[in-house]
Amino acid sequence: MGSQSATGRANQKLRTRTAIVQAAAELSRTGREVTMPEVARMALVSEATAYRYFPDLLSLLREAINGQLPTPDEALRPVADSTDPVERVAAATEFLLRHVQDRQGVVRAMIAATVVRPAEAAARPGLRFGLIDHALAPLTENSAIGPAALDQLKRGLTVVVSAEALFNLTDLHGLAPEEAIDSLVHTATALTRAALRDGEGAESDAGPDATAHPRPVA
């Protein structure tokens, strides 16, 4: 009897935990504000019960959205055959920002949690990093720009292709989401074009003629 009772309690705990995670996952897909009280309400448990299973909202959301994020291949499927870094960066930027806009409640909750606890920042999904790397893969393969320039471009795009950049434009500058997304796609592609132009200029300066016929020292 005791063994059956223990098994019953364990099963009930598993059902409760699963209900909380499923409620958080469902809420995250709506775009609405995500809070522990709202998750508890949707899971039909008390807030205190939710906190017994998860010490904070961040740990719950990390589990709830696990497996929800697309891979870079899936995200950039519409431009899979393109080798144009500008076109690929535009597609990556628009995909990420629309994803953020659609799920801004959970994104804002995770940003807020990691801003006050920087040590937990690694817990935030790093979708943009994989997207940027995948978008710029042609540059890596054909060595259109040097490694240092490529790293700098990736750092610049990390700032632009981000939820924080989108929220800066919508929350602080008052832009409509579509305007904000268009603006950031424009900035991301401008950064990419500039890096390509600089790479071409550097290659020209360091071309065979420059090596074979160095300029005289004045």
Domain co-membership, 108 together with 200:
yes
Tokens of 43: 């899971």
**pLDDT one-digit tens code per residue, 130-162:** 999 999 999 887 777 899 999 999 999 999 999
Q: Give 193 or 207, the one with higher predicted confidence.
A: 193
d(CA 145, CA 203): 8
Is residue 218 a part of any domain in this protein?
no
Domain co-membership, 192 together with 147:
yes
d(CA 86, CA 60): 37
Is residue 216 a part of any domain in this protein?
no
| Range from 86-90, 102-106, 195-199 that averages highest in pLDDT | 86-90
* Mean pLDDT taken over the chain: 87
Domain co-membership, 87 together with 42:
no
Domain co-membership, 149 together with 193:
yes
- Residues 4-15 have a mean pLDDT of 81
Tokens of 121: 């920042």
For residue 206, the SS3 value is coil
Considering the entire predicted model, what is its pTM? 0.82
The enclosing domain of 6 has a CATH number of 1.10.10
Model confidence band, residue 179 (pLDDT cutoffs 50, 70, 90)? very high
Domain co-membership, 150 together with 196:
yes
What is residue 210's predicted lDDT score, i.e. its pLDDT? 43
Last residue of a domain, one of 64, 81, 110: 64
Q: What's the domain range around 36?
A: 2-64
What is residue 203's predicted lDDT score, i.e. its pLDDT? 53
Model confidence band, residue 122 (pLDDT cutoffs 50, 70, 90)? low
Is residue 214 a part of any domain in this protein?
no
**pLDDT one-digit tens code per residue, 65-91:** 887 788 999 999 999 999 999 999 999
CA distance readout (Å), 42 to 9, 24, 47:
22, 8, 11
Closest CA to 188 of 111, 124, 126, 132: 132
DSSP per-residue string spanning 147-181: HHHHHHHHHHHHHHSSHHHHHIIIIIS---HHHHH
- Residues 11-30 have a mean pLDDT of 94
